[in-house]
Amino acid sequence: MNDTPTPAPKIDLDELSRVIHLGLVVFGILALLTGFLAEDYKRASHFGFSLHKWLGLTLAFFMAWRLWHGLFGPQEARFSQWVPYTRDRLRLAGEDLLTLLRLKLPDRGLHQGLAGLIQSFGLAVFAYMAVTGALMALFLTPGHKAGGFVHALKEMHELGPWLLVGFLAIHGGAVLLHALAGDHRWRQAFFLEK
């Protein structure tokens, strides 16, 4: 295995990718923060559940948009270009882990190597939360306790916040480390720079 990972060309995010990313960040964090309010679904008055449901459904819209963009969008945004499902792409992720163990930051392009693995995990968690949340929005009747299939769905959905917190900690930590090292791509993701 090569000691130093091969740097990949840096690719800028297109505007649509940035809008989708911003929507995932804003509505993902808002849905996560309001999740604890959703327990009032059992009551006739259920503002917390309604707030969480609508924020979550908006997040599901952005997640569906991201999936569409990953399948049919520009070449650089397509999953076929970066999701680490091949031996070579997984090898890059392994090289990046070894680089981190040497207390150095990997120098890869957007979504390449370990970043691609983390992004794939994050998209899978967001998709899981979108599907379970949308199904709950369809089948959960506010004012009544959940039972049967809906209860199982609710339990599955409640696993998601732990996965989201884990993803956000890893992703946010990586962004912070790169920013401290002088790589300010995060500014571009939030429309602070071109």
pLDDT in tens, 54-108: 999 999 999 999 999 999 999 888 999 888 889 999 999 999 999 989 988 888 8
> What's residue 11's pLDDT?
60
Higher pLDDT, 94 or 11: 94
Q: Which amino acid is at 92?
A: L
> What's residue 1's pLDDT?
47
Cα separation, 70 vs 88, whole angstroms: 20
Cα separation, 111 vs 79, whole angstroms: 10
Higher pLDDT, 139 or 143: 139
**Of the listed ranges 9-18, 65-74, 137-146, 171-180, the one predicted with least confidence:** 9-18
Per the CB < 8 A criterion, the answer to whether 49 and 40 are in contact is yes
Rg (CA), the chain: 19
> What's residue 109's pLDDT?
79
Phi and psi at 191, nearest 5°, equal 60, 25
pTM: 0.83
Cα separation, 27 vs 25, whole angstroms: 6
Percent of the chain with pLDDT over 70: 90
Ramachandran quadrant class, 14 (left: phi over 0; alpha: psi -120 to 50; beta: rest): beta
> What's residue 10's pLDDT?
56
